[in-house]
Amino acid sequence: MRSAEISPEMDGKKVTVFGWVHEVRDLGGLVFIVLRDREGFIQVTLPKKIIDPETFKKAKKISRESVLRVEGTVKKEEKAPNGFEIIPEVIDVLNESQAPLPLEVTEKVPADLDTRLENRFMDLRRPKIFAIFKIKSEITKSIRDFLNREGFIEVQTPKIVSTATEGGTELFPVSYFEREAFLNQSPQLYKQILMSAGFEKVFEIGPIFRAEEHNTTRHLNEATSVDIEVSFADHEDVMKILERLIAKVYCDVLENCEKQLEILDVKLEVPEIPFERITYDEALEMLGDQIPWGEDLDLQALKTIGSKIESHYFITNWPIKIKPFYVMALDEKLSKSFDLMHGYIELASGAQREHRYEKLVENIKSKGLHPESFEFYLKAFRYGMPPHSGWGLGLERLVMSMLNLNNIREAMLFPRDRTRLVP
């Protein structure tokens, strides 16, 4: 049984529990073992008077973080965690832990992030850290449920590819037999090809790879992206899907992760929709003369804007010259694009796409790229490509901003960054 399945009302019942030894408290004639499993803690109490002497001796010597199987009787005990304890008949050490531990699992001794990530298997045993991934799982489930209900088809596109999609960030090369290939930066080109294939509404939750040199608290070299693409929809239509999705995710986490939010001391509020929308030009106005027209908004600029707008907001109508080739122009200078922001963190970006073949070829050339390298993609635009729009949402960015984490690495089980390739 698991800790969450046992209650004080089961007083007198025989149970078998499994878990890790979180703490052993030896008071001489009385030993307490605090057992930890995924859901919480179980106090195993051994009064010397009533416990078999062999079991009592063994319990005193058990090292912390060993894995146990305990058979015993539930006893109502107000002072114990969750109001019950277990008086054991059998204690089976399934696996003994070595000592000293590489990392403290109790919250008594704080460790720096590097030490924690190096010993991630142990760090993840901490209830506070586990709670993040329980919530991340709920978020993923909520996104999947929402998009399925909205009529989207879940797809899987290649991660080994021949071309770049997102100008700016670098590619990771991989050797592919006698050719050079790359790890995909985004499912962008493939989700668009699926619009030509008539799939109409697709989504993918999968890894993206970005060989960004800079080591920041918001960037990973391998991240998870939630991507959608919708035919016969413009950028405004997909912005509406995105804000409804975010609100639904907040609702689901509030409803189903009450305990984890409490462990993390996070108070969530479902953001009100529609989210505020400001244009790029309005953003520049808010910043005074900080950023020349046509340049991207840097971290400082986003911090300034983020401090002025509560909750989530969109920045729309970005200059076309700083957007990738697949984005549709609004006029000579601007594009039908948007970023979804929460404070200073960019959660998602999206746009209506250029679906007209000639214009798309022109865009590719104007970015200094070669249409021949994109022939597999361009071909899909020559035989009936509907107008379409979509976005990509960074899953770890969403977890980070929702839970107020100060580093995106906290939202990834085994983060990949500029220096970290193991574990």
Residues forming the site for ligand AMO (CB under 6 A): 166, 186, 188, 210, 212, 219-220, 223, 225, 227, 346-351, 390-392, 394, 396-397, 408
219 part of the active site: yes
- Cβ of residue 156: shortest distance to ligand AMO, in angstroms? 16
**Nearer CB in complex with ligand AMO: 216/307:** 216
Q: Which residue has the tokens 């049984």?
A: 1
Find the catalytic residue in 36, 397, 409, 416. Answer: 397
- The active-site residue, picked from 144, 218, 244, 420, is 218
Hey, what are 408's tokens?
Answer: 């995106």
355 is catalytic: no
Nearer to ligand AMO, 351 or 385 (CB): 351
- State how beta strands 201-209 and 153-154 pair: parallel
Of these residues, 231, 349, 389, 401, which one is catalytic? 349
Helix (H) or strand (E) holding 338: strand 337-342
| Dihedral angle sign, alpha carbons of residues 101, 106, 108, 111 | positive
5 labelled catalytic:
no
Q: How far is the CB of 363 from ligand AMO (least distance, A)?
A: 14
In the residue annotation, 210 being an active-site residue is answered as yes
The pairs formed by 223-226 with CB atoms below 8 angstroms and a separation of 24 or more are 223/394, 223/395, 223/396, 223/397, 223/408, 223/412, 224/394, 224/395, 224/396, 225/186, 225/187, 225/392, 225/393, 225/394, 225/395, 226/143, 226/392, 226/393, 226/394, 226/395
Count CB neighbours of 253 within 10 A: 24
Q: Cβ closer to ligand AMO: 85 or 396? A: 396
Among this protein's residues, is 410 annotated catalytic? no
Q: Which one is catalytic: 219, 342, 388, 409?
A: 219
Write down the least CB distance from residue 400 to ligand AMO, Å. 9
Which is catalytic among the residues 116, 210, 342, 416? Answer: 210
Residue nearest to ligand AMO (CB): 394
Name which of 157 and 349 has its Cβ closer to ligand AMO: 349
Question: What 3-state DSSP class applies to 261?
Answer: helix
- Closest among 298, 337, 296, 300 to 316, alpha carbons compared: 337
Taking the complex as a whole, how short is the minimal distance between the CB of residue 392 and ligand AMO, in angstroms?
A: 3
Taking the complex as a whole, how short is the minimal distance between the CB of residue 302 and ligand AMO, in angstroms? 12
Q: How far is the CB of 313 from ligand AMO (least distance, A)?
A: 14
What is the helix (H) or strand (E) element at residue 32, kind and residue range?
A: strand 30-37
Catalytic one among 71, 166, 346, 362?
346
DSSP SS3 for 120: helix
Q: Which CB sits closer to ligand AMO, 44 or 408?
A: 408
349 DSSP β-pair partners:
339, 392
Instruction: Pick the closer one to ligand AMO by CB: 116 or 219.
Output: 219
Which DSSP state fits 319?
B
Catalogue the active-site residues. 210, 212, 218-219, 346, 349, 397
